[in-house]
Structure 1
Amino acid sequence: MAVHPSLATVADLATLLGRTFTPAQEAQAQALLDQASSVVRAYVRQDISRATTTDTFTMRRADPVLHRCAGAVTLPQRPIVEIDTVLINNVATADWWQDGNDLLLRSWTWDQPPAAHRPPQVTVTYTHGWDPVPADIQAIVMQAANRVIVNPSGIRSETVGGESVTYLIPAVGEYLGVLLSRTEQKVLDRYRRTAGTVNLRSR
């Protein structure tokens, strides 16, 4: 499994907060940024940061009249920067073109029964993601990490010695920790992948 970098750095967070971290605080901040980055990636179902991936997909039949091709696969990671190589059943081909996130394969002889029950496997190596990471995604990652730094106990309010203290937790009263608020999810929805081809194998 690929290890992805944090979507924001400790230096970014320190600048946002206007403070200098001690070594121990830097380690905590890095751990929280890593967690927040994982939460954001899980929500949008995207790697987000620039990377090159090799994935294998099952080819689906395409409308030969509408698409003028034999088959297609949908590449799940966005945005697609470059498609490097395409193999069909481990045979390299250059007979394809890109239409958005779809890879359209111009010609391929589909097997007749019983082999037809084993659709062609398409292995694609492609580069995808943003460099740099979009500013709104960075901001959300830092906000999610900072919530835990500011309020590690997740307390909204408490009374100590007759004095009431209220913490910055959303009005709905949910403890977010390194999670996302509904407002943050709405911001991230523009990046979210809601459907796509199932990835069979990554390497």
Structure 2
Amino acid sequence: MPLPPLATAADLAVLLGRTFTPAQEAQAQALLDQASSVIRGYLRQDITRATTTATFTMRRPDPLRSCAGVVTLPQRPVEEVITVAVNGMATSGWWLDGTDLLVRAWTWDHPPAAHHPPRVTVTYTHGWDPVPGDIAAIAIQAANRVLVNPTQVRSETVGGEAVTYLVPTTGEALGVLLSRTEMRVLDRYRRTAGTVRVRPA
């Protein structure tokens, strides 16, 4: 199922203080859909609240963790873990440590079976409802750049006529893409190497 946009055409219309025609509303929503996809790709997160069933390879814990195995749930924040099964066997012997799901007890087989780590299937609810305001604002900004200035105009003089392009002097084209400033704002939510920076209060 497609993920919902991070902002709506109605949100953009309020920002601009205008009423869209049906054609303008459709264009605005299409741009917001694109901006939402770009943001999700950068963050590696679904962002919006959802329930997912996914299967992970269990890894051995570090010696300081008194458990049999660990999986890291990639979608954040984790709101609720609904079910857990190890190699197809349902278990209630688990607990959460941040975004790590720790399996209380499991016998790791000897070789050659040991070369095939257990598979853990988890159904869990994750994401934000509502979408954090700064993420929604960036989706609106990215879409609005194209809506109000589809040719990305920046100053230049051609044949005595002055034209202005929105492309910065650094050569960084914007459009339905993210600026460096927007990326810095989003970095607090970004998942890198299996982690995410922070969870809003």
Q: Against the structure 1 CA distance between its residues 143 and 52, is the aligned structure 2 distance closer, same or farther, given a 3 Å change threshold? A: same
The reply to whether residue 40 of structure 1 matches residue 36 of structure 2 is no
Give the letter aligned to residue 188 of structure 1: L
Q: Which moved more, 1:160-169 or 1:134-143?
A: 160-169
Give the letter aligned to residue 109 of structure 2: D
Q: TM-score, normalised by structure 1?
A: 0.91
How far 1:66 moved relative to its partner? 1.1
For residue 155 of structure 2, what is the aligned residue in structure 1? Answer: 157
Rounded Cα–Cα distance in structure 2 between residues aligned with 1:189 and 1:123: 29
Rounded Cα–Cα distance in structure 1 between residues aligned with 2:23 and 2:155: 27
How far 1:149 moved relative to its partner? 0.7
Where does structure 2 lack aligned partners over 5 or more consecutive residues?
A: 196-201
- For residues 82-161 of structure 1, the aligned pairs below 5 Å read 82-159=80-157
Rounded Cα–Cα distance in structure 1 between residues aligned with 2:159 and 2:112: 79
Give the letter aligned to residue 8 of structure 2: T
Rounded Cα–Cα distance in structure 2 between residues aligned with 1:25 and 1:130: 28
How far 1:177 moved relative to its partner? 1.2
For residue 3 of structure 1, what is the aligned residue in structure 2? Answer: 2
Give the share of equivalent positions with the same residue, in percent.
Answer: 75
Which stretches of structure 1, 4 residues or more, deviate above 6 A after TM superposition?
none
Rounded Cα–Cα distance in structure 2 between residues aligned with 1:82 and 1:171: 46
How far 1:171 moved relative to its partner? 4.1
Rounded Cα–Cα distance in structure 2 between residues aligned with 1:3 and 1:126: 18
For residue 182 of structure 1, what is the aligned residue in structure 2? Answer: 180
The total of aligned residue pairs comes to 195
For residue 172 of structure 1, what is the aligned residue in structure 2? Answer: 170
Q: Which moved more, 1:157-166 or 1:84-93?
A: 157-166
Q: Which has the higher contact order (CA 8 A, sep 6+)?
A: 1
Q: TM-score, normalised by structure 2?
A: 0.92
How far 1:155 moved relative to its partner? 2.7
- C-alpha contact 2:68 2:106 (8 A) present in aligned 1: yes
For residue 25 of structure 2, what is the aligned residue in structure 1? Answer: 26
Rounded Cα–Cα distance in structure 2 between residues aligned with 1:126 and 1:169: 42
Where does structure 1 lack aligned partners over 5 or more consecutive residues?
A: 198-203
Give the letter aligned to residue 128 of structure 1: H
For residue 195 of structure 1, what is the aligned residue in structure 2? Answer: 193
- C-alpha contact 1:14 1:20 (8 A) present in aligned 2: yes
Rounded Cα–Cα distance in structure 2 between residues aligned with 1:160 and 1:172: 21
- C-alpha contact 1:156 1:173 (8 A) present in aligned 2: no
Rounded Cα–Cα distance in structure 1 between residues aligned with 2:53 and 2:21: 40
Rounded Cα–Cα distance in structure 2 between residues aligned with 1:149 and 1:167: 14
Rounded Cα–Cα distance in structure 1 between residues aligned with 2:168 and 2:56: 41
- C-alpha contact 2:153 2:163 (8 A) present in aligned 1: no
